[in-house]
Amino acid sequence: MVSTFVLLLTTLVVIGVLKILSVLHHAYFYWRNKGLPYLPNSLSSFITVSKVFIGYIPLADYCQYIYRFFPNAKYVGGVNFFTPAIILRDPELIKDIMVKNFEHFPDHLSFVDESVEPLFGKNVAFLRGDHWKEMRNTLSPSFTANKMKFMFDLISECSHDFVNYLVDHPELCQEVDTKAAFSRYTNDVIATAAFGISVNSMKNRDNEFYTRGIETSKFISGPLAFVKIIFLRACPRLAKLIDLTLFPSATSKFFKKIVEETIRARETQDIVRPDLIHLLMQARDKDSASVPKMTLNDIVSQAFIFFFAGFDTSSTLMCFAAHELAVNQDIQDRLREEILQHLTEGNDEISYESLSKMSYMDMVISETLRMYPPTILTDRLCVKEYELPPSQTGSKNVIIKPDNILIFPVYALHRDPKYFPNPDKFDPERFSEENKDNILPYTYLPFGHGPRKCIGNRFALMETKILIAHLLQKFTLKTVEKTVEPIVHYKKGFSLAPDGGFWIGLEKRET
């Protein structure tokens, strides 16, 4: 019985490897036949790619290697999940595709079929065509300046609770795992701003909102997630048949239950709260012949992606900002001085208006996003034939066909010394009033650009700035023995993180 299983497993592995090699071979000839610079198709290249996905080479380092392979090319041929793809290097072409000729490239590549994994597949980031447009229009009012101003007090209260807990528990401040700590803060922010639920994750450390967030984060990192994604993309019918999903079914049930109960309570008690759930309820009740009726699964999926992005991505941004402030004490001192200058007279409070006036805060967070963008790369899917100019001198125009993938190497652009001199130095002055106009457009893409720009970027920036402001009021951020500096990228995830984790110390200030 065991030998039969081993034989079957070995056969499947061999078939899988041969399939991968054949796909790479196809991609090689696909771009060579078009006269396009392409990444070499050799055993060493295959081994290098394999090392990325089994956790021996950081994804960010590999993306830089690809970006630098043809330094004079506007774009190069490559492979994305075994599909031929084009990696764009030229800012003008990036502008054309993201903005100017958006109608040719309106969609993101979706790696999960919504019928198999509705929790993830139905969210606004992966919806396509008119369905995406309608959902985007539905959600956009959640993130206007007026809505941000309304949510400011809710977020500020979460930040106060978080910082005050640390003030009251100095034993926690000697060595702080900021990823674990800041995730509790972002968990509370999303719970109140999106779901209308009050949670204090520092006091109630095992609340289900938080434990589900940790569980979800684990399920989208590492080799197992990669294998799942490949299988869900390549064999959606079989995945549905064997009930394979990206996230555990208990996670889907939890979020569905929370949304159902929130909607029921608001309907029976006539509760009106201008947050994400309320806007989705309004959209659900619209009577439109041109747009499919919004289902509960649609609402749950939007609420979930808002939770997921806020829980993981925003907390990572805060971690990198805190790290750089701990390492660069002069920058920290200057930022604290600005914060103290903008405190509301009489009560030492930070208002929405005062936060928006903190220009150095904006410079610090902008530089953090340059060095550590939320996504290492982003993509677009062609829906209408498009002609690219020659990639380099002597080459031909290239016709992009529907379903071809275009990749934007965000991290590599941000670390290109041609656009950002001395790119590995943390230097907020790049974004000063005097210098920021020198940044070449479309070389700085932390949230993407154009109609597909991250819809929640204002929210993420606001919750990050509030937390940093409150932290610097009460504490001096210090490096500790566990602080990784210079940062060495963690190898087993698809997002940026230091190998060894985020660690700083918090020294209480005399106020």
Tell me phi and psi for residue 238, to 5 degrees: -65, -40
Question: Two tokens at 444?
Answer: 């700085």
Cβ distance 357 to 342 under 8 Å? yes
Distance CA 497, CA 499 (A): 7
Q: Which amino acid is at 29?
A: F
Q: Which amino acid is at 145?
A: A
Question: Two tokens at 141?
Answer: 């009012």
Of 28, 24, 80, 40, which Cα lies nearest the Cα of 378? Answer: 80
Which positions ≥6 away from 376 have C-beta within 8 Å? 59, 60, 63, 409, 410, 411, 494, 495, 496
Of 262, 256, 368, which Cα lies nearest the Cα of 316? Answer: 368
Residues forming a β-bridge with 386: 400
Question: Two tokens at 165?
Answer: 């807990």
User: Under DSSP, is residue 479 helix (H, G, I), strand (E, B) or coil?
Assistant: coil
Which positions ≥6 away from 490 have C-beta within 8 Å? 58, 496, 497, 498, 499, 500
Q: Which run of H or E residues covers position 379?
A: strand 378-381
Of 24, 71, 22, 72, which Cα lies nearest the Cα of 45? Answer: 24
User: Under DSSP, is residue 347 helix (H, G, I), strand (E, B) or coil?
Assistant: coil
DSSP state for residue 419 in the 8-state scheme: T
173 is in an annotated binding site: no
Place of tokens 């500096």: 485
Binding site members: 454
Binding site members for heme: 454
